[in-house]
Amino acid sequence: MIIDTHTHFYDPTRPEGVPWPSPEDELLYRRVLPEHHKALAVPEGVRGTVVVEASKWAEDNQWILDLAANEPFIVGFVGHLELDWVDFETYLDRFATNPLFRGIRLRGTDIDQAGGNGNFSRIEMLAAKDLELDLLLGAEGLSDVASLAEQIPDLRIVINHVAHVKIDGNAPEAFWAEGIQKAAACPNVYMKVSGLVERAQDKPVPADVAYYTPTLDVLWNAFGEDRLVYGSNWPVSARFADYATVQHIVAEYFNAKGDAIAEKYFWKNGMAAYKWLDRGQLGKPSG
């Protein structure tokens, strides 16, 4: 079984449109809904997805939750709430009543500024509600991740997209690798192994796992078998490689470590990080 913990759904044909992606983006500016993802993912063994909100409109959190109400393929939702919103607590209380709402995503700059602007307590609210925090950041933010994880040890933190390291087939940047070690030293920090093809420096994007192995080895040595999580970053990943290729790259790496390890990577670790819901469709045959 595979759970894809990073997809985006949206519909530019709604009367209000969407704040992302831009109409100028010919690839992404289209209806992207569960049925479109399932057409690509189910043949690859995927049984569900955790949606990550990319819209900055508060009510789009509700739009996804409404979409999920009748779509059991959506097993969890990472919402978008800004720490400095006046109504942050109201929105968090409201959305957290839905068991599919599993946390929020912030950027590294949000974490860096949270202490100075008095919003640190709002991050603590996530832990109090047993919600997680996704983080979108680069190598420069990894020290902040470690600091945050130490200050709120009950908060599950998931770093997105391998912290945006450049991938070129060689050993990754030392500054990134050092930051990875710091973040991984905290047992409440997980790494979403997503965004690999997006960070590939060669074009066309290589499909050979050997090109990504030096980067994957750093992550494996730091986070081990229990804190690496699968995510496709679809449909953004489609700009660089098709869905099957994105999955096959990591499948080759983790399958080589044995079935038990692959099972952890492809769904068990994601369940630990997100506490996503088994909505009754998991384990059913594809088709």
Residue 279 belongs to some domain of the structure: no
**pLDDT band per the 50, 70, 90 thresholds, residue 286:** very low
Residue 224 belongs to some domain of the structure: yes
Residue 286 belongs to some domain of the structure: no
CA 197, 149, 74 angle in degrees (round to 5)?
50
Range of the domain at 162: 2-274
**pLDDT band per the 50, 70, 90 thresholds, residue 116:** confident
Residue 111 belongs to some domain of the structure: yes
- The more confidently predicted of residues 282 and 173 is 173
Residue 283 belongs to some domain of the structure: no
Model pLDDT for residues 119-151, shown as the tens digit of each residue: 999 999 999 999 999 999 999 999 999 999 999
Give percent of the chain above pLDDT 90.
Answer: 93
pLDDT at position 180 is: 98
CATH number of the domain bearing residue 10: 3.20.20.140
Q: Residue 279: CB partners within 8 Å, gap ≥ 6? A: 48, 72, 74, 75
pLDDT at position 283 is: 60
46 pLDDT above the threshold of 50: yes
Residue 51 belongs to some domain of the structure: yes
Domain count, the chain: 1
287 pLDDT above the threshold of 80: no
Q: Is 161 left (phi over 0), alpha (psi -120 to 50) or beta?
A: left
Residue of 134, 4, 9, 126 lying closest to 66 (CA atoms): 9
